[in-house]
Amino acid sequence: MPQLLTPEQARSALDKAGKSIAEFARDHSLDEPTVYQILAGRKKGRRGEAHRAAVLLGIKAGTEPAALEINGLAKSRK
């Protein structure tokens, strides 16, 4: 199982890849404010779209693989 990221690490991975949060949200058909709220820690990603966003960002484990890992944006945390 891949290592989960903190919201700060997920944001950093997006920055390093030169990908904006808005672009990430559009690429994955996510609500942009929800992605911002997940990365800021205001939403925990327990249900619905917030959960899907957290999984795609690599912050939570889920049935869908993390998009950051698929695209090689996130490095494993040791």
Length reported for the chain: 78
Question: CA-to-CA distance for 63 and 15, rounded, in angstroms?
Answer: 25
Cβ atoms within 10 Å of 39's Cβ, excluding its own: 21
- Spans of all domains in the chain: 7-70
Q: Which residue has 């899907």 as its token pair?
A: 52
**Whole-structure pTM value:** 0.79
Q: List the chain pLDDT tens, one digit each, 78 residues.
A: 578 999 999 999 999 999 999 999 999 999 999 999 999 999 999 999 999 999 999 999 887 666 665 455 555 443
Tokens standing for residue 66: 């993390």
